[in-house]
Amino acid sequence: MKKLVLAIAATAMMAGAAQAQSYPNRPVTMIVPFAAGGPTDIVARIVGEHMSKTLGQQIVVENVAGAGGTTGITRASQSKNDGYTIMMGHMGTHGAAPALYANLKYDPVKDFEPVGMAAGTPILIVGKKNFPAKDLKEMMAYLKANPDKVNQAHAGIGAVSHMTCIMFNSQLGIKPTAVPYSGTGPALNDLVSGQVDYMCDQIVNLVQQIKAGSIKAYAIATPVRSPALPDVPTTVEAGMPDYQVTAWNAIFAPKDTPKEVMTALTDALNKALDDEATKGRLLELGAVLPTKTERGGQWLGEFVGKEVARWTPVLKDASK
Amino acid sequence: MSGQVAPSEDQSPGLIKSTQELGAGLFLMAIALFFYWQGLDLPRGTLRALGPGMLPLALVTLLGVGGLMMVIYSLFETGPRLERWSLRGPFFVFGGIILFALLIRTCGLMIAGPVSMIFGMMASDEFKLKEATIFSIAMTIICILLFKTLLRLPIPVIGTLLEPIFPF
Amino acid sequence: MEAFLGNLAMGFGVALTLNNIFLCFVGCMVGTLIGVLPGVGPIATIAMLLPITFGFDPTGALIMLAGIYYGAQYGGSTTAILVNIPGEATSVVTVLDGHQMAKQGRAGVALGMAAMGSFFAGTVATLFIAALGQPLTKLAQLFGPAEYFSLMIMGLVFAVVLARGSILKAMCMILLGLLLATVGTDLETGQERMTLGIQDLSDGVDFAVLAMGIFGFAEIVRNLENPETRDVVRAAIGRLWPSKDDFRQSYFPILRGTLIGAVLGILPGNGAVLGPFASYTVEKKIAKDPKRFGRGAIEGVAGPESANNAGAQTAFIPLLTLGIPPNAVMALMVGAMTIHGIIPGPQVMTKNPELFWGMVASMWLGNLMLVIINLPLIGLWVKLLQVPYRMMFPAIMIFCCIGIYSINNSTSDVLFTAFFGLVGYTLLKFGFEPAPMLLRFVLGKLMEEKLRQALILSRGSFSTFIERPVSAGLLLVAVVMLAIALLPSIQKGRDEVFTE
């Protein structure tokens, strides 16, 4: 027993000396604030796999779901800022959360060191198969004419489909009946079977249904068409150019993480985004990748500020 | 109060015909009251447009009535008496679990495993310190191999407090 | 018919490659292992194993992940029977009679019957998916929020029938389960309900947390204070293999369970959880001597276990044909498919026929493997019961703690489990049965959600439940069942209060 204690103490001391070595010398935890298998989780795992290669240490994805992602981000923001805990933030957690959660325990702008944008998934406006509108213009007219009749589905308060449709409705100046579901699956199911009229959600959740013709796509909220759905017009083409929404995912570290750690992380992320295989995988999902100017921490930091400013008034107004 | 009744399996002859039923009723009423208080601030909405507070209020009311019925039954219908409550089992078992929760992130499975298991094993009247120590350390090693190595769960083995001195 | 056979042949061609057989085997082994460990569910494991499958081809990866899924179902039943802990909502029912059988020294019989019932159900369900997958999805599309709510009301009747002992106490447990289900963020307004201001409760109480607390830890504490009951399990180890009589009693429950489970599994709103409960209710209702139920009736294991496995299998139908995941594990499968560049949806069947039929074929193969893996293990599992309890319970404890922690990497979940353990212990002391509460807890969330969706869609009119034919039919069945179930139950409930 005594020998064991001595041995442990000896290794501990040697380990202390090894601490001085460069970052990272043990696995890095990436907190994903959503359940495994969702769009953010998939992006994190694909990007994380390549980043592990560059860093020479495994990036372990830890899913901490709850309260629209704010549970996980709160935990990550309070963890040690040594670079061994990083997180995959998201449009909701770092854009909309301050407006949705009154007692949010973090500030998306001040409490984080931005690593860089990873990938975003564009938002689509879709309707049920027999919705009486053949394009977005007709749809807008119909929604404005029948505000009491239409039902809009969303996957719960704080979900991407909830926030993005609020933005859509507020730009149209309507407040339709919103039917809440406990996830994208059930909401989509009722859209396919025609219980509800329309919804807005990420392309990855909808692409197969659109291709099969079980729901109708009206527009994609990006400046250019998506290669995954080349027949779906952009909101610019279809007559609603101000509706530009992408559910973005970006990597952050806790506040005051050392400079050299941030450089290493940003560098690893950029290498992952340059890798053909990783890029291919993300594009298959219908994701949009950051352009060269949209990379890195500085751009992301400014972007988060703009997102918070953009979502707060819209969401506050909708909850009145 | 029911614990003071003489230990016999027969139902008590006094006013209360079933102490178990009485306790059950009171327990449910306490739960109902607690949730009623918790849900006071929730908007109830109307029957046509249900608010968040409507269903909880309905359930709490029914639960309270159920508890009350049990209390009344306990005065008229003979039933089983309340079993003896032991403190040793709950204290050590739940204490062990709480220790696990407190230690797992800071000290890791390495420490949380043996500590929580040894503490929990004290719940048994056959507790032997040596056996418990060896068993819990062996179990912890098995768990680390099983969950960390084989199943790759992101469970902390070393913990944040000890991490800087164990760089693996 | 020819196309059907051709498709199946193609599927087996894919599933029977050496590589895929191996992956299927590994999946089933890992699944059985995590299923047997109390507290460690398939969700955490599949999530963790996802990255390993990056290197495989999509079909192989999905075959392995699917293997983990039904392996875990099998393993979960083993734990339910041996140590009285339901690892998942679907094995709550198995606990009732399965563990009683174990206490009577019939653990081997219960395990064997569960395995064989599951295999039969798996075989039928596989054929079911292959032949009727596409048309059945259309049926599921008939279910809107109103129909679901009516189905849940029907489920309420099951809960009443499940009750052992006092009917009043069972009703109160049902109410308590529903009440616990309301904890968390309100779906419609986003308001926090009954969360005591604890952020970790904002998504409600996790099923595993409640089940481990109420069943697992409460049971440990109870066993510790009654050395007699736990030694019964140890002392009496009877035959390992079901006798002729056991088989005779189980044929029809297995058939009925398979049918019930397969049909309910197709429903897109996690209808599979209803299967075992429905099967148990049916068996108890048509049994000559319903009193045996809850005291180690083999029908109460054979029927629900078959329903469980059939449902687990047919739950793939909405995923594979519609691309809509009916539950959390299936949502994870969507993630797995997406990572491999296949976005599940109506087109998978036509665009990736090898994947679709390969998976269908591998389901059957997986079931066969599970029987082969599990039957020889029964002897080993039963031997485990002979481990002295003073070592058994800390092992269960640590597995549960690790499992609970891993669900969401959250220490507060572990603390909640301890709390619910205390609640469960108190409930046992007051003579309550936890099973109806757990069932209502599972269904409660769905029930409120569907009720409110239906009322939002109908703009507040309750007549929507009667105007829609499917919904009206379900409600009618519920009323009739309640009438049949309640009248004799009240009588019997009182009898039991007097005799106990």
CA distance C269 to chain A (A): 7
Contact between C476 and C152 under an 8 Å Cβ cutoff? The reply is no
Which among C364, C356, C362 has a CA at the least distance from the CA of C134? C356
State how far residue B131 is from chain C, nearest Cα, in angstroms. 9
Candidates B42, B55, B139; nearest CB to C395: B139
Contact residues, C window 163-192, toward A, CB-based 8 Å cutoff: 185-190
Q: Note the pLDDT of residue C1.
A: 62
Please state the rounded mean pLDDT for residues B29-33.
Answer: 91
Interacting residues of C444 by C-beta distance below 8 A, sequence separation 6+: C177, C178, C180, C181, C182
CA separation for the pair C243, C73 (Å, rounded): 25
CA distance B152 to chain A (A): 9
Largest Cα span, chain A? 82
Separation between Cα atoms, residue A302 and residue C421, nearest integer Å? 48
pTM of the model: 0.79
Residue B139 touches chain C, beta carbons under 8 Å: yes
Contacts of C228 (CB under 8 A, 6+ apart): none
- Bridge partners of C86, per DSSP, are none
Give the strand pairing for A28-32 and A59-63: parallel
Q: Among A187-201, A274-288, C51-65, C411-425, where is mean pLDDT lowest? A: C51-65
Helix axis angle, C2-15 relative to C18-36, nearest 10°?
80
DSSP for residue B163 = G
**A189 contact residues in C (CB cutoff 8 A):** 141, 268-269, 318, 322, 324
Please report residues of C whose CB lies closer than 8 A to that of A188. Answer: 324
d(CA A119, CA C30): 33
Name B139's Cβ contacts closer than 8 Å, sequence gap at least 6.
B113, B117, C394, C395, C398
| Cβ <8 Å between B93 and C421 | yes
Give mean pLDDT, residues A307-317: 89
- Give B163's contacts in chain A (Cβ within 8 Å): 26, 84
Q: Do A19 and B164 touch (CB under 8 A)?
A: yes
Does residue A284 contact residue C341 with C-beta atoms inside 8 Å?
yes
- In angstroms, the first-to-last Cα distance of chain C is 57
Please tell me which residue of chain A has the smallest CA distance to C350.
A212
Question: C292-323 burial by CB neighbour count: b if 16+ within 10 A, else e?
Answer: bbbebbbbbbbbbbbbbbbbbbbbbbbbbbbb
Contact between chains at B139 and C405 (C-beta distance less than 8 A): no
Domains of chain A (ranges; CATH) run 27-121+248-318 (3.40.190.150), 122-238 (3.40.190.10)
Contact check, Cβ <8 Å, C203/A67: yes
Query: CA-CA distance, C370 to C36, in Å (whole number)?
Result: 13
Q: What percent of chain C has pLDDT over 90?
A: 7
Nearest CA in chain B to A13: B165
Distance from CA of B167 to the nearest CA of A (A): 6
DSSP C389-435: HHHHHHHHHHHHHHHHHHHHT-HHHHHHHHHHHHHHHHHHHTT--HH
> Is pLDDT larger for residue A21 or for residue C182?
C182
Cβ atoms of B63 and B25 closer than 8 Å:
no
Longest dimension (CA), chain B: 68
Report the pLDDT value the prediction gives residue A34, as an integer from 0 to 100. Answer: 85
List the single residue in C188, C331, C408 with the smallest CB-CB distance to A180. Answer: C188
Mean pLDDT of C249-278: 83
Average the pLDDT over C34-56 and give the result: 71
How near does any CA of chain A get to the CA of C363, in Å?
21
Q: Give the 3-state DSSP-derived string for C306-318, with helices as H, strands as E and coil as C.
A: HHHHHHHHHCHHH
What is the C-alpha separation between A142 and C289, in angstroms, rounded? 62
**In the predicted model, what is the mean pLDDT of chain A?**
86
Residue whose C-alpha is closest to residue A239's, from A141, A145, A167 = A141
Chains A and B form CB pairs within 8 A to the count of 23
Q: How far is B94 from chain C (nearest CA, A)?
A: 5
Residues with Cβ within 8 Å of residue C48, at least 6 apart in sequence: B151, B152, B153, B154
Structure tokens at C282: 């049916």
CB atoms within 10 A of CB B14: 8
Place of tokens 């447990």: C173
Interface contact C430-B136, CB threshold 8 A: no
- Inter-chain residue contact C445 with A182, CB threshold 8 Å: yes
CB-side exposure of B85: number of CA atoms within 13 Å? Answer: 19
| Cα dihedral across residues B6, B11, B15, B17: positive or negative | positive
Residue at token pair 């294991």 = C301
Report ipTM (2 d.p.): 0.87
d(CA C28, CA C366): 7
| DSSP code per residue over C198-245 | -GGGTT---HHHHHIIIIIIHHHHHHHH-HHHHHHHHH----SS--HH
Tens digit of each residue's pLDDT (9 = 90 or more) over C143-168:
788 888 887 787 676 656 555 567 78
- What count of CB pairs under 8 Å joins A to C? 140
For range C412-439, the mean pLDDT: 87
Is the CA virtual torsion A77, A78, A83, A85 positive or negative?
Answer: negative
Q: Are C354 and C59 in contact (CB under 8 A)?
A: yes
Chain C residues within 8 A of B124 when measuring between CB atoms: 224, 389-390, 393
Is C324 in contact with C270 (CB distance < 8 Å)?
A: no
Is residue A180 classed as helix, strand or coil in its secondary structure?
Answer: strand
Q: Check whether C124 has a pLDDT greater than 50.
A: yes
pLDDT at C192 over 60: yes
The answer to whether the CB of C79 falls within 8 A of the CB of C385 is no
Among A252, A302, A306, which residue's Cα sits nearest to residue A111?
A252
In this model, does residue B102 exceed pLDDT 80?
yes
Lowest pLDDT segment from A16-30, A139-153, C353-367: A16-30
CB pairs B-C closer than 8 Å? 200
Cβ–Cβ under 8 Å, residues A133 and A198: no
Of A276-285, B115-124, C225-234, C379-388, give the lowest mean pLDDT range.
C225-234
Check: CB of residue A217 under 8 Å from CB of residue A232. yes
Chains that touch A (3 or more CB pairs under 8 A): B, C
Phi then psi for C326, rounded to 5 degrees?
-80, -20
3-class DSSP state of A153: strand
Tell me the one-letter amino acid at C386: Q
The answer to whether residue A98 scores a pLDDT higher than 60 is yes
Residues B6-14: contacts with CB under 8 Å, at least 24 apart: B7/B84, B8/B81, B9/B81, B10/B81, B11/B78, B11/B79, B11/B80, B11/B81, B12/B81
Q: Please state the length of chain C.
A: 500
Rounded to whole angstroms, the Cα distance separating B57 from A38 reads: 35
Q: Is A216 helix (H, G, I), strand (E, B) or coil?
A: strand
Each domain of chain B, given as residue ranges in start order, spans 2-76, 88-165
**For residue A219, what are its two tokens?**
């527009």
pLDDT at A65 over 60: yes
| The two three-digit tokens of residue C488, written as one number | 């004799």
C-alpha Rg value of chain C to the nearest Å:
22
**In terms of C-beta density within 10 A (0-12 exposed, 13-18 middle, 19 or more buried), how is residue C74 classed?**
buried
Find the closest chain C residue to A62 by CA distance.
C409
Q: How many Å apart are CA A136 and CA A219, to the nearest integer? A: 7
The arithmetic mean of pLDDT across residues C25-31, rounded, is: 88
A11-21 confidence digits (pLDDT tens): 544 444 444 45
Q: Which of A72-81, C225-234, C264-273, C381-390 has the lowest mean pLDDT?
A: C225-234
Residues from chain C contacting residue A192 (CB–CB below 8 Å): 141, 322, 324
Confidence class of residue B114 from pLDDT cuts 50, 70 and 90?
very high
Distance from CA of A304 to the nearest CA of C (A): 24
Tokens of C439: 């069932």
Q: Which of C63-72, C107-116, C281-290 has the lowest mean pLDDT?
A: C281-290
- The SS3 call for residue B156 is coil
User: What would the mean pLDDT of C333-351 be, rounded to a whole number?
Assistant: 73
In this prediction, residue C313 carries a pLDDT of 85
| Subunit partners of chain B (3 or more CB pairs within 8 A) | A, C
CB contact under 8 A, B165 and A16: yes
Q: Name the minimum distance, in Å, from the CA of A91 to any CA of chain C.
A: 18
Instruction: For A70-125, give the DSSP string.
Output: HHHHHHHHHS-SSSSEEEEEEHIIIIIHHHH-TT-SS-TTTSEEEEEEEEEEEEEE
How much is the pLDDT for C469? 87
Contact, C434 vs C425, CB < 8 A?
A: no
Residue A217 is predicted with a pLDDT of: 93
Q: What average pLDDT does this structure show over A271-278?
A: 91
Q: Where are the alpha helices (DSSP H) in C84-217?
A: 92-103, 107-141, 145-162, 167-181, 207-211
Q: Using CA atoms, how far apart are residues C191 and C185, in angstroms rounded to an integer? A: 5
**C271: which residues sit within 8 A by CB, 6+ positions away?**
C151, C264, C265, C311, C326
Looking at beta carbons, which residues of chain C come within 8 Å of A177? 456-457, 459
In this complex, which chains have at least 3 CB pairs below 8 Å with chain C?
Answer: A, B
